[in-house]
Structure formats: C-alpha cells, structure tokens
Structure 1
Amino acid sequence: MSTLVECPVCGRITTEQAVSLHLDFGCSSAPTASTSQSAAAPLPPVASSSSGPPKTTRTPAEKKRKAAPPTAVRDAPSTSSPAARSAAPPSSKKPRTSTASFLEAAKPLPELVRPRALEDFVGQEHLLGKGALLRALIEEDRLGSCLFWGPPGTGKTTIARVIAKTTSSIFKELSATNATTAQLREVFVEAENVLKITGRKTLLFIDEIQRFNKAQQDAFLPVVEAGTISLVASTTENPSFRVNTALLSRCRVFVLNKLSADDIFRILVRALRLLHEQKTGENLPEAPGPVVKSEPDAGAAPLPDDPDAASAAAAAAAAAAPSAVDATAPSTDPSDADVSLPGPPPAGTSAAHSADPVFAHTGALDPPLLRFLASAADGDARVALSSLELALSATRKGADGGIDREELKRGLRKAHMQYDRSGDAHYDTISALHKSVRGSDANAALYYLARMLEGGDDPLYVARRLVRMAAEDVGLANPQALPQALAAYQATQLIGMPECDCILAQVVVMLAESPKSVRCYNAYNAAKALVKRGEQYPIPLHIRNAPTGLMKQLGYGREYRYEPGFAHPVHQTFLPPELAGTTFLQDDDSIEGKTVDEAALREWEWRAQRGKRWEGRDELEKKVRELEEKAAAAGKAPRAGATGLDAEDGAV
C-alpha cells in the first residue's frame, strides 16, 4: 500500500515513492495527491499470487496512468481548479522559497554569491585582468599543472571552480584536510582509464595541499610527469617550505595578493545585488563605472631643481615600488583608511559603487557601513561576506529602528586579523621590525611591533630578537643598549602580555633612535669566514699555557711578556705568523668595503634634509680619493662598490 506523505518544501501531498522525484523536479512535477486524499479510504492492496509471474516495479507515473483510482479519489475535486482552491481551507503552513536541495538552502552567503565566471571575479587584476597570463590560459583551456598561493579569502577556490566550468577536461575536487592516499589512487586509476578510452585528461583540484605529507605529495609525481592529470592546487602557506621541491618544479605558481578594501567593497555590493535579485526577481540597472583620474598629487613636495637629483629621486622611487611606501605622501589606497570609516569613499575608487541602485533597498546597510565591513575584513572576502550576512540577519534594533551600528562595529572591529604565528606573516613581520630598527625608523618599528603583539605572537620571541638587535645593529655605538634589552626580556618573562607591551615598545624606540655600529658584527663574521675556509694554523708557542715542566722545556710560554708587569707598552704578536697583519675590526668611519651610492644620497638629502646638502659630503669624497690612491699605489684595481664616487652608477 502506498503511503501518502507531505512534501517538506511545498507542503503538497504525494506518495512516499514519488516524493524524491517530486523534489528533484523542484516541486513542479511528479504525481501528487491533494489534502483530501489523506482522509480518503486507503488504496486497495495489489493482489499477489505465488504461482503467477513476478511483480514488476512500475514508476509512479505508470501507476497513475494505468491503475484505476478509488472512487473517493476520482470523485474528489481537483485542487488545481478555482472551485477547489476557493473551497479548500487556507493552509497554515507557508511554502518555503527554497531550491530543491536543503544543502543549497543551508549554504552561507560567501558560497551563495561565489562568482561562476571570470567576468564576475573581483580583484587579482595581475592574474585575471585583460591580457593577463592566467586569464588567457583559462580561456584557451591550456592551464596545465599550477598552484595558487595566497592569503585566505582571496579567490583561490573560486578560480578553481571557474576553471571547472570552462575546461574540456574532466574536473575533480578533493580537499587535503580529509582526502586519503587511497582516494588519490582511485582518482589516478580512473583518470588513466578515461584518458585511454576517451582521450580526455582529468583536471584535479586539491585544496590546502600543504596539509598532505611528503609521501602523499610524492604520489602526484608520476601522474603529473606522465600528463595523466593536470594538478591545480591551492595553499595559504609558502609553497617553498610546505610543498615538495620535485612537485613544485612541475607546477606553475600563481601568487594571489590580499584584496584591497575597495575590492571587498565591490564584492559586498555585488552580494547585495544578487540577494535583491533572488528575493524580488528584479534586475537592477548597472552602477556607473568608476572614473579613474590621473592627476598630480597636490600635497606632494616638488622635485628639486637639480635635474640629476630629480632623476635620481624618480629612479629611487621607481625602484622602491611596490615594496616601499613613502610615509610623507598621502595614500590613495582605500585599505589605508581608518577602520572607523563612515566618511566619504576614497576618491576615484568606490564613488561609483557607492551610488549603486541597490542601496535604495538596503536600509541601514548604506555605503559607509559597507566600507567599514570591507576595512575590518583585513583583505579576506569570506570574512567580509560573513559579516554582511550577520548584519543582514541582525535582529537587535537601535533607537531609529535600524541596525545598532555601533554594536555591530564593536563586534566586527578587527575581529579578524590575517596573522600566522608560525607562517610567512610571522617571519615577514619580524624582518620588517628588525630592518626598521636598523634604519632608525622608530615609527615603522612600533607599527610592526604592534602587528606582532596584537596578532598573538610570542612576546618573548620579540624580546629575544631585540636582544640580538642591540648587539648586532647598535653594538659599541651605545653599550647600554644590550643591558636594557636584557632587562626588557626579563620583565617580559615576569609580567607577560598585555602589560609587557610598553616595555618592548620602549626598547624598540631606544634601539631605533640609538646610533648604529656594526663594527663588532662585521669583524666577527670576517673571522668566522676565515676559520671556515682557511687552514687551522698552529697557535704560537709563546702564548700557549705551560702547566708542566715538560711543556716549558718544549718552549711553551717562552718569551711571553706579561704586559701588566711593564711600566711601558710592549709589542708581541698573537696571531699565527701566516696571518700576520690580518685585520678584522674596521673603524666606524672607514668606508672600506662599504658602498657609496650617489643616487641614494641625493634622495636622502631631498627627503630628509629638504634638499639641504649633507654635511659629511666633503669628508666622504676625501676618503674615497684616499682609498683610490691607496689602491693605485698597491697596484690593485679598485674594488667594485668600494672605491670611487660615480654619480652615474653610484659605485664607490
């Protein structure tokens, strides 16, 4: 007997056998029964005979077409007729506006608005912009094996899904977080069989490939080498350290950058448009495109009148981009804006998107609030979309009847920070801190210190590195730097975070503002290099210890002069005769082995001295001439980077 059940999506009554087919067709087809059927007499059982032929299974459509329905059911009015609809009692259960799958309805907003085509992708213009290499390879279906490396929420998986829709190869997707070696072998065998039979290759996407161990990564080598599969992998960690070198050499690496605040703002606006279109079916008009203007910066300092200085400064600025940022020039990057935005959008970037027609239907979700969400996401589009979903579903109301904006901001302000205590962010930031201290930029050093501490890094690790900076970079120029750094390390051990932050900040500023001397550091490195590459010469007998009579007879300690016992200076040698005259320590003001870069010096005079000539120029030029004369007298060619002041190539 067929059992009548209620559809969990639309509430219609159908048979238990047909409910799956009914759901597969989006609640628009498959045999259904009216509510009145549930109260009618049950269907008569099908007669069966043990001697007759075996009963064949018929589809629900065949049953409806061939089986004679009971009288009660046949006489009942159709629920699709106007009379039946008017007579039927109103349903207390509202139909759900959902797709045919509960999994689809359960997807979060970042998954629902994931781009399906390259035209919808936002950001990564260096890879997917017009004429970019990756875009051309995807459109021509000639991608091959590649690896996407970038921070979370930058579009690695989205690019892979776009590739799946455009490639003619068979696409398969696995995650290294739960895939096993057995599953990989199954995919490899299937890919080989498909290639033999149909000639189609298999494109395998592995998410978070760094989670695979060495043996699992090695399993890809033969199939990638043979061309059985094309591997597309993604990783958030440096592949140089987490992916086998052999596998890395067989893949082209594409680096994805962290998204800017303007990119994330555009993603949020696109999400709002999609949600509005799904809810109302209304296609909103496109927003006007952004107007990008190329205008001189009114706030920038004018170039010096000297043409050489101007060209040198321009060359230095070009060489510094994009890794160096001029702190004196105003920033045009929206990501540099204060996270408390609600002011006007950055000029020329988000203005057009702020005027998007969708904002006429979003209520309290206005452009300033969306720009705040974009800044608080710290370059992660997934975090921004999750924050937008939270804002859309917020039920707490403020005094004006809208979303309590301040409460939302407190909950989302820097709730997410892309910082990995054991990954590239850790090492890149401590490198930036060390180099800022070495370059005497206390402001930059404090900034990188705050990024490490607020990102949850170990304060004792930072304190240990400050001890190293005190000896390596400050050295003898400020002998009190090392004791202060050691005191800061001990204080950090005693009180920990967050109280130790000002202690570390004090030492960072002290080290940055101290004069620098690498005299001991360079001298020890020179001695260490000589020991490693040179012969280990015997220690002179006169400075060897002679605790026994035999050793004294052999000459140990003979002719050693105990200098405190003399009333005047005495001379004696301590190095082996083969190393006589070797010098490791150089005077702080010596330029030997150092570079004199005329372009860099002029840039410093322009930026730091406001074009004023450096007072040490005359002394520097004198030392350069003396070094050249010394080299010429010895019959040696000047060392590259150590002799001669050349205004064109900057070599000393």
Structure 2
Amino acid sequence: EGQQGILAQGRLLRRAIKADRVGNLILHGPPGVGKTTLARIVANHTRAHFSSLNAVLAGVKDLRMEVDAAKQRLERHGLRSILFIDEVHRFNSAQQDALLPWVENGTVTLIGATTENPYFEVNKALVSRSRLFRLLPLEPDDLHQLLQRALNDEERGYGTRRVMVTPDAAEHLVDVAGGDARSLLNALELAVESSEPQPDGEIQIDLAIAEESIQQRAVLYDKQGDAHYDTISAFIKSLRGSDADAALFWLARMVEAGENPRFIFRRMLIAAGEDIGLADPQAIVVVEACAAAFERVGLPEGLYPLAQAALYLAGTEKSNSVLGFFDALKSVREANRQDVPSHLRDANRDGAAFGDGVGYRYPHAYAEHWVEQQYLPTALQGEVFWQPGQLGWEGERRERMAERRAAQLAAAAELATEQPLLLSSGPDSPAMERWIQRQLAQEGDRLHQLRQRLWAGVTWQRQDRVLLLGCHSLLWALDPLRQAPEGGVTLVCPSPEDRQRLAAQVDLLEPERQPQLVDGLEALPSDQIFDWIGGRLGTADLLDMNWDALVQSLTVHSTDHTGLRLLISCAERGPAGALGSSHAAASSLSQLVEQEQQWLQQLQIQTEPFEQRGWCLDIQQWQELLTLPGGQSLAERWLGDGAAYRQMLGPVDPETLQLLRTTLEGLGPEGLRLPMRHQLITGKQVQEKEHRTANLLET
C-alpha cells in the first residue's frame, strides 16, 4: 500500500513491474517512504537477476565485480541483470562514472535510491538515462495499514504474540511518525520489546507507552539539501503572499530543525527589499533592528524579534517596483549613447570651458522643490524604469510621479513637434544644448499652466466619457483620467510616432485607468457617444485641417449635453514678420511677410461649421511671446527641406530666401521673438437631437 501516485492501478511504474520491463530508475524521497521496499518488489516480479549494493559500504571494486558477473550472465545465458544501489548519492563522481558505460550499453539495469535531489547529487549522465520517481511521505491511512500488518504478520511481525495497541496509541504512533514507515516500525518494536506481558501473556500498548516510544516527531531538515531550500522558499513565499500563519509555521519548522537564525534574517532582509520595497520603506529598518536585537539577546529570547520581523513582513503592504533597477541595468548594457547631459555634469572642473553644469536648475529654488528638467541621457529620454505600485508609501506618491513624468515627456514632445530641429543639435553647439535644457524645463511650466486653463471650471462626473484630439502626449489627458475613472478616455493619435509615444506613457498607469488609443475619428464606432470633447491643437495639427469634416464627426459622437474644450495654439507671425519692421532686412522681406499672413490666416479656427451644427461657442484668447535662439538650426527649422513653411512659400526669389536664412542664422543669442496666440474654445450643443440629425442629413 502507499505511493498511489506512482503505483496505483494503471500507473506507468506498476505496468512496467508487471510486464517485467523495468528500465533504469532513480527513486528519491525522504527516509522511510518505501524506496528499498519498492526495489524488493521489483526483484520479486522480475525474471532478471537482481543484486544490490549499498553505496556507503561498496566501492569501485564491488561495482566491477557486479558488472563482470552481469556480462557473463548476459553472454552465457542471455539473462538481464538489475543492480539496485541504495543511497546512490553517496557514490563519489569517480564511482558513478565507472558505472556509466555499463548502464549505457545495457549490461546492467540500474535502480538507484537516494534521499537527496538527484539533479544535484547524481551524475547528470546517469540522470539523463534514467526515469526519476519521487516518493512522498506515506499517508496516515497507509501507516495504519502498515501498523496492523506488522501486528498480524507471523514471519516478520508480531503475529505469533498477543499485542494489543489502543486506538489512542496507534493514532499517536502514526501522527508522530510523520509519514516515515521506518520510524513507525522502530517505535512499535521499542514499545513491544520494552513492555512487560500481562499474566495472560497479552502485551498492551497504551498512549503512555506509545508516547515514551516515540516522544518527538523527527523534523526532516538537511541544512544543505532539498528540505533546507524548500522550507526557506515556502517561508519567503508565505511572507510575499501576506500569510502570517504560514510564515510562522515555516519559521518554527526551521528553528526547530536548528536553522541558523542569521540565515533567516538575511533572507528576510532580501524580502524586505524585493517583495515589500517602497510600499513600506520601514520594513527593512524593522528587520535590521530585529536582527540587531537578536544579536544582543541571543537564544531563546531572541526568537521574539525573529518572529516579530516575520510577522511585520507578512502583514505590511507589498511591492516589487524596485525590480525596475534591473530594467535600468539592461538599458545600461544595451543602450549605445549614455552621455551625461551637459547641465548635469560636474561644473567644478572644466565647466567654464565646455559649458558643463550650465543650465542646471536647482530644484529647491522652485515650488514643491521640483522643476521639470532632463535627467536621463537624451537617447533614453522617456524611458520608464520605476513603476510605483498602488499601495503604501509609493502608492501615495504614484499619481504625483505619473503627473511629473507626463509633464516632462509632454515638454519634450512639444519641442519635438513645434521646434524639431532644436532637439537635434550636436556637441559642436553647447549654447544650443543649454538652451534646449532650459526650454524643456520652461515648457513643463508652460504646459502645466495651459493644461490647468484647458480644464478650468469643468464639473466632472466619474462616469464621464472623454474624447481628446491632437494628443502628442499624455499630459492633456491627466485630468479626465483622474476625474472620470469609470467612464473612459479615448485619445486620437495624430501620427504613428505619437501613438508609439503615447503607448509608452500609458504604461505609467494601472491597466484599469489606461485610455483607449485610436488613429483617427473614423476608427471610432458610429454609436460611441462622449460627454466631453477636448484637447490641444498646435500648428502641426492645424495644417490642412478640414474643419467641416472634423465638426461633422464630433457632432455624430455627441449629445445635447456634450461639452467642448479645445485649446488652439498657433504663431501669429512667421519668421519674416517676427523680425519686425525696424530690422534692416524688413523692406526686402515684405513679400514674405504678406505670404506668411495669408498662410497663418488659413490656420485659424473656423466657427461656421460649429454654428451650422448647433454648437454654441465661447472663445477666450491670449498671447504669449516665445524667444527662439538664432543660428543654423533656427534657419533650418523654417527653411529646411520638407519644412511646412518652405512648402507654403512656393516659388520665391532665391535671393530673398537666402537673405532670410542669413538673417535667422545671424540673430545670435538674443534670438527671434515669436508671438503665439492661444484660443480656448468652449461650447455645448443647443439644438435638439432630431433637428441636428436633420441638418446632418441635409449636409
């Protein structure tokens, strides 16, 4: 009986034994679970010659003798040989190697038994050529049957003597044996042989005698074996799973087996960083304090701080966000460009000569001791390594971190969209690099203010559905994502590059709060309705804008209660007009100024399509003055191949173009003062749905 997992009716090993087709086997499991007994069963059912060795007593000479005898039996009589080696892990590497060739060529069939993990203690070549079976501790029912058989067996048990074991005594023997048949039989033998028979010859084993025979359960625990690693693994996983009861049990098992508490404290310190981390930064402090207290107190009172540390780790919030360090480590090994940004470099050595440290903004000089600023290498800007969890200390700061990251990424996206060449200046222009860093920080401030103005006065409902246009970054979606978690936010991506960037930024949010990304309004289901439609449209978004088609699509996805919040930002002048009438080149560039004004006029919002479809609009307008530093990058920004401004100009006198280019390149640090106009468009539907639908059908 027992080991039904491998010996039940129909199981592979049972079928192999019945058919006498047992191949190379390695049986592993704790002591007293039937490994040797199973080998004897194989011996009783096979027609092959069966011999056995004990690895503790045998050597290479004994192996050679068995192999030579097996060769003779095979050659003379065609008889197979099965060699059972008990405690096979006790053979050293040379002894196991000596056995390998004969196992490979089939001279002997090996059955090995071991209490150790065969993958670590047995020759890999032997393991690869054998089928491994794991024997588990015997079940209580199996031990009760074994106990009864031992009492009734006349040859190998006490069947010839009158032995009576009370139910309580039998239960105690089975329970304390802990699945070890050998321990149970030894206890029974001790109880019977040490008890005086009654006058009638009966030997009675009651609970008191049973307790004396087997007083304490033997804890199966080898400090270098599987039990050691399995138990500490169970302990750490119980801490990670916040199961305080399981953690105390496995801790008690290790202490009872004599595990060094310093080893347990070391593993708890690791768990405090790996599994708790910044959800509770005090966890590692508590464990370290408990470890120090243990060193001062010692055993047995030191068990109090040991248990206290385990219970604290099991009971506190969990997070593995510190694993983001390994993502950063991977980037360090794979990224090609890892140059320290110039404004972060040490300014105390050669800063004056190379501009190192120039442009650095001291966070403590700003509100909340923080300012938008580039800290990662340019090639890694936008990478996210630390993703704080939702619980504990880091959970309280998660939203603020996401908002700051989005502000930084939005600032970089703003410059990439509006002034793309300004982000690609090289080391030959340190002044330009310093300006870029200042712009990135200033853009963060600007965009935060614009975001607040865009959504100011909106009364949010948690179930609101929000559609955002012209999304180059996640910044403009932060307010609806925070205020309308149950409704959903949809972002319209102007380009594949924007979609890729947004997808990376969306990863900053937990899955249930992530917005939907679409490539255009045509990708929306026709019956999808939104409570708010908003976003920010810049110069790049206004080029070739078909206002009539846009408003028609927005109207289809709106109701009488849909609110409109659009922020439109556009330059009021082009480069020629921004130079001003007082500039020496103004008269020669007058033709370009007229063309610029005509071009910019086309970028203005058209209110007629809104009014025709029942929208009542309110427009707030204000101006902002940007300063763009002069130089070759500024000239390329406007006049380079593929620039929208250059395409707008069409055929122009080459001398006029060259004059404008030369002028922009010669502006120097004072730069070009470019006026910007911002328009906040707010509105709502005023017509009934049926009337609006009729207008759409007419259109």
Q: How does 1:486-501 map onto structure 2 within 5 Å?
A: 486-501=288-303
The 1:207–1:629 alpha-carbon spacing in structure 2 relative to 1, beyond 3 Å, is farther
Amino acid at match of 1:542: H
Distance 2:142 2:463 in 1: 47
CA contact (8 A) 2:152 2:158 kept: no
May I ask how many residue pairs the two structures share in their alignment? Answer: 416
Mapped pair 1:133 → 2:8: no
The 1:225–1:505 alpha-carbon spacing in structure 2 relative to 1, beyond 3 Å, is same
When the two chains are superposed, the root-mean-square deviation of aligned CA atoms in Å is 3.7
Q: Give the aligned partner of residue 189 of structure 2.
A: 389
Point out the more displaced range, 123-132 or 178-187: 178-187
Instruction: Note the alpha carbon deviations across 1:428-454, whole angstroms, 9 max, x for none.
Output: 121211122222211111111111111
Q: Give the aligned partner of residue 451 of structure 1.
A: 253
Distance 1:396 1:489 in 2: 52
Amino acid at match of 2:383: T
Q: Give the aligned partner of residue 479 of structure 1.
A: 281
Q: In structure 2, the residue corresponding to 1:414 is in which secondary structure?
A: coil
Distance 2:157 2:357 in 1: 94
1:435 is aligned, of 228, 237, 244, to: 237
CA contact (8 A) 2:143 2:174 kept: yes
The 1:538–1:162 alpha-carbon spacing in structure 2 relative to 1, beyond 3 Å, is same
The 1:370–1:628 alpha-carbon spacing in structure 2 relative to 1, beyond 3 Å, is farther
Instruction: Note the alpha carbon deviations across 1:586-609, whole angstroms, 9 max, x for none.
Output: 23239xxxxxxxxxxxxxxxxxxx
CA contact (8 A) 1:151 1:257 kept: yes
Q: Give the aligned partner of residue 225 of structure 1.
A: 104
Distance 1:227 1:277 in 2: 35
Q: How does 1:331-346 map onto structure 2 within 5 Å?
A: none
The 1:150–1:524 alpha-carbon spacing in structure 2 relative to 1, beyond 3 Å, is same
CA contact (8 A) 2:343 2:356 kept: yes
> How far is 1:192 from its partner?
2.0
Q: Which residues of structure 1 form unaligned runs of 5+? A: 1-121, 282-357, 591-615, 646-652
CA contact (8 A) 2:150 2:159 kept: no
Q: How does 1:79-98 map onto structure 2 within 5 Å?
A: none
Q: Give the aligned partner of residue 222 of structure 2.
A: 420
Distance 2:492 2:310 in 1: 41
Decide which structure has greater helix share.
2
TM-score when normalising by structure 2: 0.54
Mapped pair 1:376 → 2:176: yes
The 1:444–1:456 alpha-carbon spacing in structure 2 relative to 1, beyond 3 Å, is same
Point out the more displaced range, 372-381 or 429-438: 429-438
1:517 is aligned, of 319, 324, 327, to: 319
Q: Give the aligned partner of residue 32 of structure 2.
A: 153
The 1:131–1:566 alpha-carbon spacing in structure 2 relative to 1, beyond 3 Å, is closer
Q: Give the aligned partner of residue 585 of structure 2.
A: none
Q: Give the aligned partner of residue 529 of structure 1.
A: 330
Greater length-normalized contact order (CA 8 Å, ≥ 6 residues apart): 1
> How far is 1:558 from its partner?
4.1
> How far is 1:233 from its partner?
0.4
Which structure has the larger Rg?
Answer: 2
Q: Give the aligned partner of residue 539 of structure 1.
A: 340
The 1:623–1:190 alpha-carbon spacing in structure 2 relative to 1, beyond 3 Å, is farther
The 1:276–1:245 alpha-carbon spacing in structure 2 relative to 1, beyond 3 Å, is closer
Q: In structure 1, the residue corresponding to 2:373 is in which secondary structure?
A: coil
CA contact (8 A) 1:396 1:404 kept: no
Decide which structure has greater strand share.
2
Distance 2:75 2:58 in 1: 25
Q: In structure 2, the residue corresponding to 1:497 is in which secondary structure?
A: coil
Distance 1:440 1:207 in 2: 41
Percent identity between the aligned chains? 39
Amino acid at match of 2:384: T
Distance 2:2 2:263 in 1: 35
Distance 2:99 2:223 in 1: 30
Q: Which residues of structure 2 form unaligned runs of 5+? A: 392-461, 465-480, 514-699
Mapped pair 1:581 → 2:373: no
CA contact (8 A) 1:124 1:257 kept: yes
The 1:201–1:617 alpha-carbon spacing in structure 2 relative to 1, beyond 3 Å, is farther
Q: Give the aligned partner of residue 269 of structure 2.
A: 467
> How far is 1:408 from its partner?
4.1
Distance 1:423 1:407 in 2: 34
Q: Give the aligned partner of residue 133 of structure 2.
A: 254
Distance 1:442 1:455 in 2: 20
Instruction: Note the alpha carbon deviations across 1:271-329, whole angstroms, 9 max, x for none.
Output: 00014897676xxxxxxxxxxxxxxxxxxxxxxxxxxxxxxxxxxxxxxxxxxxxxxxx
Amino acid at match of 1:246: A
CA contact (8 A) 1:625 1:644 kept: no
Q: Give the aligned partner of residue 508 of structure 1.
A: 310
Q: In structure 1, the residue corresponding to 2:6 is in which secondary structure?
A: helix
CA contact (8 A) 1:470 1:482 kept: yes
Q: In structure 2, the residue corresponding to 1:475 is in which secondary structure?
A: helix
